[in-house]
């Protein structure tokens, strides 16, 4: 096993968040606390879940977390969302997004602009600058949790991108193997097989690129 128990526990919460199953969420959050996952990591995961699974499911997960953890949000290591720092968000967003997408970053920007001119700023500034570039959780764990959440959804292009993104942010192929083995428990056999097939393709391409 290459990933530490705390990271795997976090990944399990990310997958459960995408399902909206409160019982599953509660059990996995309790298990994460037992595994010694820092509460700040959970808070940051749930914040990025607004991007990965949408407001309704993220709010459900936050409600369960508050009942499990008790008390208010953890502030140490985080930062306020509502502050007028557009230039820093933009710079941080470009850096974080480029780390995830690697050599395909500029192609991504062109594709986003082609969809709608407002989407580039939403992705770079709001998603990566405001949320995914926050302190409190490193980019490797953030991307593994993003991968887990996206795997629960019918979004093959985004899933393919985040399989690559996991490698771009420092995960090994064995790390990704472990994450997929964790999330396949929440998938149908057909969906799990497609996930493994897609990962085999990405993994082979990554080996060829060495």
Q: Where are the alpha helices (DSSP H) in the chain?
A: 5-19, 22-34, 39-52, 55-69, 86-101, 105-115, 119-121, 139-151, 156-168, 173-183, 189-209
Distance of CA 195 to the CA centre of its chain: 16
Closest to 108 in 3D by CA, of 93, 91, 130: 93
The pTM assigned to this predicted structure is: 0.90
Asked if 51 contacts 81 with a C-beta cutoff of 8 angstroms, the reply is no
For residue 209, pLDDT over 70 is answered with: no
pLDDT at residue 74, rounded to an integer: 75
DSSP notation for 27-55: HHHHHHHHTT--HHHHHHHHHHHHHHT-H
pLDDT tens across 64-106, in order? 999 999 877 776 666 666 666 778 889 999 999 999 999 999 9
pLDDT tens across 6-57, in order? 999 999 999 999 999 999 999 999 999 999 999 999 999 999 999 999 999 9
pLDDT at residue 93, rounded to an integer: 94
**Number of Cβ atoms within 10 Å of the Cβ of 131:** 20
pLDDT tens across 141-173, in order? 999 999 999 999 999 999 999 999 999 999 999
Q: CA distances (Å), 22 to each of 16, 65, 93, 97, in order?
A: 8, 10, 32, 31
DSSP notation for 78-106: ---SS-S-HHHHHHHHHHHHHHHHGGGHH
Closest to 133 in 3D by CA, of 17, 51, 63, 13: 51
Per mean pLDDT, which of 18-27, 77-86, 111-120, 124-133 is the most reliable?
18-27
**CA 79 – CA 112 distance, rounded (Å):** 28
**CA 208 – CA 103 distance, rounded (Å):** 15
pLDDT at residue 208, rounded to an integer: 59
């Amino acid at each position: 096993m290459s990933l530490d128990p705390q990271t795997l526990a976090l990944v399990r919460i990310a997958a459960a968040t995408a399902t909206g199953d409160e019982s599953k969420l509660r059990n996995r959050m309790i298990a994460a606390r037992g595994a010694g996952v820092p509460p700040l990591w959970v808070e940051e995961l749930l914040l990025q879940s607004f991007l990965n699974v949408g407001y309704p499911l993220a709010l459900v997960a936050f409600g369960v977390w508050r009942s499990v953890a008790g008390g208010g949000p953890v502030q140490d290591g985080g930062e306020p969302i509502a502050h007028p720092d557009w230039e820093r968000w933009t710079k941080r967003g470009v850096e974080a997004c480029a780390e995830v997408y690697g050599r395909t970053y500029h192609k991504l920007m062109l594709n986003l602009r082609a969809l709608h001119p407002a989407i580039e700023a939403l992705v770079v500034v709001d998603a990566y600058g405001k949320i995914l570039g926050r302190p409190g959780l490193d980019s490797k764990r953030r991307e593994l949790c993003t991968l887990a959440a996206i795997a629960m959804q019918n979004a093959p292009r985004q899933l393919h991108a985040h399989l690559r993104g996991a490698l771009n942010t420092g995960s090994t192929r064995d790390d990704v193997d472990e994450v997929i083995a964790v999330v396949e428990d929440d998938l149908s056999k057909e969906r799990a097989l497609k996930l493994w097939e897609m990962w085999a393709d990405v993994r082979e391409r990554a080996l060829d690129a060495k």
